């Protein structure tokens, strides 16, 4: 597919969301590559912000204590930066892919205010697959997420796309192998064909 052009057409933002461990980042990278558009990943923004206040010691890079807290100060700043950047890109007529576990109403509202079409891609997987992926990744944060998921304290409904998007595509990544993104490409083409 050719890169969606910024012309009189409104940009299309593919917003990828889903529970940790479903493969959102893998799907988002595949979609951005397939469409030939830029990719924003909230966790990469968060890592950059964390590095700005990290220190280097004998054990390597030490992130601030609150870096790994979901909803903590670094997470809140990363969300604000993501919303600002996404809104500016959309306002400039740029189509792109944005990946974040939860698509906040603020992000969707910002994209709508920038006159973008928003396609939500909801990435899902079987609970057992998610739990295994979180355990396999091994990071302390993923172990905490796996435990929350196991206890039912992280409901799947938390990661569903909010109201206000133009279309939703669900991708199930339970099976091993690269994600299939043709349905996302078809949905983007359908949104580009709609004149508003």
Following DSSP, what letter does each residue of 12-72 receive, concatenated? EEEEEE--TTS-HHHHHHHHHHHHT--EEEHHHHHHHHHHHT-EEETTEEE--GGGGSTTS
Q: Is the four-CA dihedral 115, 107, 163, 5 of positive or negative sign? A: positive
CA-wise closest residue to 192 among 39, 37, 82 = 37
- Hey, what are 97's tokens? 């892919």
- What is the CATH class of 12-41+94-188? alpha beta
**Residues counted in the chain:** 196
Once rounded to an integer, what is the mean pLDDT over residues 28-35? 96
Structure tokens at 90: 């959309």
What is the phi-psi region of residue 178: left when phi exceeds 0, alpha when psi lies from -120 to 50, beta otherwise? Answer: beta
Alpha carbons 121 and 138: distance in angstroms, whole number: 26
Q: Is the confidence at residue 14, as pLDDT, over 80?
A: yes
Confidence of residue 98 (pLDDT cuts 50, 70, 90): very high
Q: Is the pTM of this model over 0.85?
A: no
Measured distance CA(103)–CA(98) in Å, rounded? 9
Q: What is the pLDDT of residue 36?
A: 95
What is the phi-psi region of residue 73: left when phi exceeds 0, alpha when psi lies from -120 to 50, beta otherwise? alpha
At 131, is the pLDDT very low, low, confident or very high (cuts 50, 70, 90)? Answer: confident
């Amino acid at each position: 597919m050719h890169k969606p052009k910024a012309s009189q057409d409104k940009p299309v933002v593919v917003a990828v969301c889903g529970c940790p461990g479903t493969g959102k980042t893998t799907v988002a990278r595949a979609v951005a590559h397939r469409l030939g558009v830029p990719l924003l990943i909230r966790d990469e923004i968060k890592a950059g912000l964390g590095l700005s206040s990290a220190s280097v010691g004998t054990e390597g890079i030490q992130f601030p204590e609150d870096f790994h807290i979901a909803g903590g100060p670094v997470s809140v700043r990363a969300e604000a930066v993501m919303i600002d950047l996404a809104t500016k890109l959309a306002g400039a007529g740029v189509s792109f892919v944005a990946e974040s576990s939860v698509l906040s109403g603020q992000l969707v509202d910002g994209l709508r205010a920038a006159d973008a079409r928003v396609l939500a891609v909801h990435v899902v997987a079987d609970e057992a697959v998610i739990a295994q992926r979180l355990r396999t990744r091994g990071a302390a944060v993923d172990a905490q997420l796996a435990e929350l998921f196991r206890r039912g304290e992280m409901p799947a409904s938390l990661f569903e796309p909010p109201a206000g998007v133009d279309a939703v595509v669900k991708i199930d990544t339970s099976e091993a192998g690269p994600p299939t993104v043709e349905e996302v490409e078809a949905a983007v083409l359908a949104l580009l064909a709609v004149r508003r």
